[in-house]
Amino acid sequence: MAASFRALSAALPNQSLTRSPPRFLAACSLSLRLNSVSYTPRRGATRASMAEIVTPKSKGKVKVFDTEEDLAVSLAEYAADLSKKSAQRKDSFTVVLSGGSLVKSLRKLLEQPYIDSVDWSKWHVFWVDERVVPKDHPDSNYLLAYNEFLSKVPIPTGNVYAINDALSAEGAADDYETCLKHLVKTKTIDQSESTGFPKFDLMLMGMGPDGHIASLFPGHPLVHENEKWVSFITESPKPPPQRISFTLPVINSSANIALVVAGAGKATAVHIALSDVSNSDVLPVQLVEPEGELSWFLDKEAASKL
Ligand SMILES: O=C(O)[C@H](O)[C@@H](O)[C@H](O)[C@H](O)COP(=O)(O)O
């Protein structure tokens, strides 16, 4: 698909709201269909070029952007739309963040029109995983999100749910689970009618080059935890070793999940996740199948093996 994508993106800049006829990509193990779309996001944002890959529903909607900058523009529009729809319906918009490069990709929400139009007072922010370090430690996902995003938007401080960094990994996981249970009881967080697990409005996650999501790593037993809401790991292959993580059933009870993946180092895992190649060790990312909608935001390097 690499060559087809390059050809398509070269053709995109001069189009406006046009959609080319679907193209079938013989090179893919899955019959992926590519629709090219050039669109102008909301007033104030710059134009972005994008290709959509049509996959079976369970694999989600896949958008491939020419650049990470275009990806960030579209991600802001996506998050702002969900925030608006949710705010029309209820008092809270529950958003879950991962660590890593995802947070930087949220930067366009800090610009117009979103910074003024999003109802930040309704946002409640959680972490799908957190490193068990003090909140002011450079490895802290909370610190990263605070520095890059949370300190720049008017989300009430009481709506930001960081872990208790005075506890052990096990203690912090239990404490976070108790916090979620309380918020489900008070109806700040929705609850899935089918699974009983919390149902977050939007989960924004990165993916590691090995196909891990949150702190669910390939081959680790935590991937199969299906009772707890939040669990812990003390020997994470990605440093630091001590982490807490939402479990897969919580992740999969979400109303919306965005997997935000950029860079050539992720291309193999993206290919495995979106194609039908059979691999003996299923990657955690392959197990993401939310109750609601799954959307992939890829740059062309991450999509280069599709
Ligand atoms: O705390 C963490 O380490 C993360 O939550 C982790 O799951 C991350 O999202 C991926 O490793 C992708 O990270 P990058 O986007 O930085 O590669």
**pLDDT above 90 coverage of the chain, percent:** 78
Tell me the torsion sign for CA atoms 106, 110, 111, 114. positive
Q: In this predicted model, what pLDDT tens digit does every residue of 266-304 receive, in sequence order?
A: 999 999 999 877 777 899 999 999 999 999 999 999 999
Q: Which SS3 state, helix, strand or coil, does residue 96 take?
A: strand
- Per-residue pLDDT band at 52 (split at 50, 70, 90): confident
Read out DSSP for 100-121?
A: GGGGGGGGGGGSTTHHHHS-GG
pLDDT greater than 90 at residue 30 = no
ipTM above 0.95, yes or no: yes
pLDDT at residue 24 is higher than 70: no
Question: Per-residue pLDDT for 22 more than 50?
Answer: no
183 pLDDT more than 50: yes
Which domains are seen in the chain, by residue range?
2-299 (3.40.50.1360)
Q: Which residues contact 133 (CB under 8 A, 6 or more apart)?
A: 139, 140, 165, 240, 242
Task: Look up the pTM and report it.
Answer: 0.86
Write out pLDDT tens, residues 109-151.
Answer: 999 999 999 999 999 999 999 999 999 999 999 999 999 999 9
Instruction: Please state, in angstroms and rounded to a whole number, the distance separating the CA atoms of residues 47 and 39.
Output: 6
Residue 184 C-alpha to ligand 1 middle, in angstroms?
A: 26
- Helices marked H in 22-113 — which ranges? 68-89
Beta-bridge mates of residue 38:
49
> pLDDT tens, 146-171?
999 999 999 999 999 999 999 999 99
In the predicted model, is pLDDT for residue 229 greater than 80? yes
Instruction: Tell me the best of 68, 75, 96, 101 to mutate to test the pocket of ligand 1, counting ligand atoms within 8 Å of each CB and taking the most.
Output: 101
Pocket of ligand 1 (CB under 6 A): 98-102, 129, 131, 141, 206-208, 212-214, 238
Instruction: With a cut of 50, say whether residue 244 has pLDDT above it.
Output: yes
Name the DSSP class of 180: H
The model's confidence at residue 180, banded by pLDDT at 50, 70 and 90, is very high
**Ligand 1 centre distance from Cα of residue 141 (Å):** 9
* Residue with the larger pLDDT of the pair 251 and 30: 251
Q: In what order do the strands lie in the sheet with 230-233?
A: 129-131, 243-246, 230-233
Distance CA 28, CA 271 (A): 9
